[in-house]
Chain A
């Protein structure tokens, strides 16, 4: 097949490649938010956390020459922001949604403030696994160039699912998220659990940011994130708080993001804004279809403030 004449197959390949490329940050933030919400807190500030992660990852990679150190730094920055969220929400009468929005503003501002010197330089990037190395067509080969973080994300998803069901730790998190009073009576440390869960969530969000700046698109600039952090909350609802579903949901959203530019290359040029809004409209439709006055969403933790 002449590689130039891919036409609509090119769109399909672009969507597949996009699904793999763009899904990784969605995967990490949705896992982050799943963990946080399972413990009973909502974190709307993941966008700020993600950007802090992206910035620190890029900066440390540039300064040290090692992208993996960058990822570690991003994870650290993310965890720090998670801790901040948890610490504030542990105070009485503090609303977790508001704290999230505040951290969104603070984190975004801090990331761009500290990150200004890193806009121009080129930082070493994360390597990729060429999964399709044996395939002849360059287009498919490129679509199958996968970052190790993609696999790390899948591993975390499986681990989280297993942990929720099979470990004591997972049980405590779920108990604390479903009914704080009962958990407290049973002797579980509610605030500490939520703190650990939120901090770990922040860590994952930081890694998501590192992927954006060190893997794809692999740059540090304003406009790097287009709201992936905020989307985490909707991704989690789509996934019904199930870590494995987060994987499929992220693939779906990743592919949807790639659809717009891909369609243009085959000549579908109008409606690019509406196509961009499709994921949000779909999420809203899903929410309407699956919500009910009578009971809360299936799978939602009982303590979640947005579900009461």
Chain B
């Protein structure tokens, strides 16, 4: 009995040895490469709850896609605060659950990723933010779509649909991507109606339903009739806008169901690229440390149009979308002034849509936006 086992084991080892030898060739063949993907535990950290109709839900959608990959086991933890505690959560997933790829999805996790990544070189940390720079640990990725592009399209729609010539932007915190989104919204609207103004309100919290509702109400009282809300869950903003009878644009995910009458369109993420990173880590393939893109790289989406948007406007918006996807339209183009009178770009100057350094350094709001960033230039 023992002999036959030993023999069969030897045979087994011999056979696998052959397979491993052939593995070198297999890397060139995608089919075999997938079969060799190591089983991997992937952990998602959310700053809120997954069903929030907002930021976290967008990531949860990607998490479901990743869970379908071969050999992937998905772990999720919600309500992880953006403090040092997140380091403990990441370590807990790595040590106690054996996670090898982590998706700390909130923007504020970055400094804690910086501290944790060097300790665990066998783990890949994928962050939803575009902050990676040379010198940062190689096992980290920063990836984030340029949401200012779909915001530009929302602005175009708003420019066509607004009757009062006043639109509104509600932002959660004074951070660079909020400013870029606001600028995109205003620039898009102004490309249709150069006299349009945009009232900007910063609530100060990622998540504060009462403040967000109040912001909508006071904007509408000021005559605003198109609103977009950049907070973790724009559900309250859209619903309140609908109740006041004005138009609204969505953010993060498809919110059209919440405002059947007033929904125009929205800026959505496409976090699906995360699956590519997981596969790369599984097969030890190459991956980028920084991936940012707009429509050109299919990292952002436009929500379906609401019933209120007429056909000619839809066609115009889609044409503009194509221009962005073909890299024929620069969002920041001269002549461009900020809302305090300073010249940002002279006539003829443009900023490439993928100029990450410029976008990170945006501390201004463009002309037409009424509000302050609160940051010195």
Contact = CB atoms under 8 A, between A and B. Distances in A.
Interface of A: 2-7, 10-11, 13-14, 17-18, 21-22, 116, 119-120, 122, 138-139, 142-143, 216-219, 221-224, 226, 257-258, 260-262, 264-267, 269-270, 272-273
Contact of B222 (A10, A21, A217, A270): A10
**Residue in A257, A260, A273 with the greatest tally of chain B CB atoms within 10 Å:** A260
Interface residues of B, number: 46
Contacts of B211: 260-261
Contact of B235 (A7, A219, A260, A270): A219
Contacts of B236: 217-219, 221
A122 B240 CA distance: 13
**Residue in B165, B201, B210 with the greatest tally of chain A CB atoms within 10 Å:** B210
B6 to A, nearest CB: 55
Nearest to A272: B204
B209 A262 contact: no
Interface stretch (B44-52, B63-71, B277-285): B44-52
Contacts of A18: 214, 217
Given A222-B207, A264-B201, A267-B371, A3 B218 contact: no
B251 interface: no
B213 A4 contact: no
Given A3-B223, A142-B221, A221 B207 contact: yes
Given A17-B221, A119-B51, A217-B236, 7 more contacts: A3-B223, A10-B222, A17-B217, A218-B236, A261-B201, A269-B374, A272-B204
Given A217-B209, A222-B49, A226-B210, A265 B223 contact: no
Given A3-B223, A4-B166, A6-B222, A14 B214 contact: yes
A269 B223 contact: no
Contacts of B220: 138-139, 142
A143 B207 contact: no
Contacts of B200: 264
Contacts of B148: none
Contact of A223 (B204, B207, B214, B243): B207
Nearest to B206: A223
**Residue in B164, B201, B205 with the greatest tally of chain A CB atoms within 10 Å:** B201
Contacts of B258: 122
A257 to B, nearest CB: 7
Interface of B: 48-49, 51-53, 57, 79, 164-166, 199-205, 207-215, 217-223, 233, 235-236, 239-240, 243-245, 258, 370-372, 374
30 contacts: A2-B223, A3-B223, A4-B166, A4-B222, A10-B218, A10-B221, A14-B214, A14-B217, A14-B221, A22-B214, A116-B51, A119-B51, A138-B220, A139-B221, A143-B221, A216-B213, A218-B236, A218-B240, A218-B243, A219-B239, A221-B236, A223-B209, A226-B210, A260-B214, A261-B211, A261-B214, A261-B218, A264-B218, A266-B222, A272-B202
Report whether over half of chain A's contact residues are helix, strand or loop; otherwise say mixed: helix
Contacts of A2: 223
A214 to B, nearest CB: 12
A258 B166 CA distance: 21
B7 to A, nearest CB: 56
Given A4-B166, A116-B49, A269 B202 contact: yes
A218 B217 CA distance: 14
A263 to B, nearest CB: 9
A255 to B, nearest CB: 11
Nearest to B258: A122
Q: Which 10 A-B pairs have the closest CB atoms?
A: A4-B223, A217-B213, A120-B51, A139-B221, A14-B218, A261-B214, A262-B218, A261-B215, A217-B209, A264-B201
Contacts of A218: 213, 236, 239-240, 243
A265 B202 contact: no
Contacts of B370: 267
Contacts of B214: 14, 18, 22, 257-258, 260-262
B233 to A, nearest CB: 6
Nearest to B78: A116
A218 to B, nearest CB: 6
Nearest to B49: A119
A142 B209 contact: no
**Residue in A11, A22, A262 with the greatest tally of chain B CB atoms within 10 Å:** A262
A222 B202 CA distance: 20
A4 B239 contact: no
Nearest to A276: B204
Contact of B48 (A14, A138, A222): A222
**Residue in A21, A116, A261, A266 with the greatest tally of chain B CB atoms within 10 Å:** A261
A150 to B, nearest CB: 16
A265 B170 CA distance: 10
Nearest to A11: B218
A223 B212 CA distance: 11
Nearest to B233: A221
Contacts of A116: 49, 51
Contacts of A217: 209-210, 212-213, 236, 240
A209 B293 CA distance: 43
A24 to B, nearest CB: 12
Nearest to A142: B244
B57 to A, nearest CB: 8
Nearest to A224: B209
Contacts of B233: 221
Contacts of A3: 164, 223
Nearest to B51: A120
